[in-house]
């Protein structure tokens, strides 16, 4: 399957008209994609000032999430748009990047 001119195979379940449809939004991605998103988000949160424990709170919340339903989207939603772009830059897997791009488009 070719998506956005990138030859990357991702499950068709996540793609419909360049967006994620409502039913598939609640379908958990593969464990590998979830872990990549999770670890990248934790890495970003650990770079922020933690004077008042805000970053630690976010890291702990993410760390406790399991790969069920829309938890991957909840991780992405913890960031504003510019930090979502940072998340995309830190993500290793191309299929995870495409999934996030679909979420924030």
Residue 75 has what pLDDT?
Answer: 96
Residue 17 has what pLDDT?
Answer: 57
Residue 3 has what pLDDT?
Answer: 39
Q: What is the pLDDT of residues 82-104, one digit of tens each?
A: 999 999 999 989 989 988 988 88
Residue 52 banded pLDDT, cuts 50, 70, 90: very high
Tell me the C-alpha distance between 82 and 104, whole Å: 11
Select the more confidently predicted residue: 54 or 12.
54
- In the predicted structure, residue 5 carries a pLDDT above the cut 90: no
Question: Which two structure tokens, joined as six digits, stand for 57?
Answer: 């709170």
Angle CA 81–89–80, to nearest 5: 15
Tell me the C-alpha distance between 81 and 21, whole Å: 20
Residue 102 has what pLDDT?
Answer: 85
Select the more confidently predicted residue: 62 or 11.
62
In sequence order, which residues have a C-beta less than 8 Å from that of residue 93 and are 6 or more positions away? 32, 33, 36
What is the CA 6 to chain-centroid distance, rounded? Answer: 18
């Amino acid at each position: 399957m070719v998506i956005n001119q990138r030859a990357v195979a991702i499950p068709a379940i996540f793609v419909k008209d360049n967006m994620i449809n409502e039913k598939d939004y609640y379908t958990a991605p593969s464990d590998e994609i979830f872990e990549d998103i999770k670890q990248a988000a934790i890495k970003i949160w650990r770079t922020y000032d933690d004077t008042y424990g805000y970053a630690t709170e976010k890291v702990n919340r993410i760390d406790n999430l399991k790969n069920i339903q829309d938890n991957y989207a909840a991780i992405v939603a913890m960031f504003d748009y510019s930090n979502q772009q940072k998340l995309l830059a830190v993500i290793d897997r191309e299929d995870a990047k495409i999934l996030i791009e679909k979420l924030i488009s």
